[in-house]
Amino acid sequence: MLCSKCKKPSDFVMEDGLCQACHVQSEVRRLEIIDLAREQHPQAGVIEIHDNATLSEGNDNGCYVAAWVWVEFAGTKFDKERGNTNA
pLDDT at 61 over 70: yes
Q: Is the pTM of this model over 0.95?
A: no
Residue 12 vs residues 1, 4, 7, 30, 47: alpha-carbon distances, Å: 7, 12, 13, 21, 37
Angle at 53 between CA 50 and CA 59, to 5 degrees: 140
Is residue 85 scored above 80 in pLDDT?
A: no
- Judge whether 37 and 57 are in contact, CB under 8 Å: no
| Closest alpha carbon to 35 in 5, 65, 58 | 65
pLDDT digits (tens, 9 = 90+) for 31-56: 999 999 999 999 988 999 999 999 99
What digits encode the pLDDT tens for the residues 10-30?
888 888 889 999 999 999 999
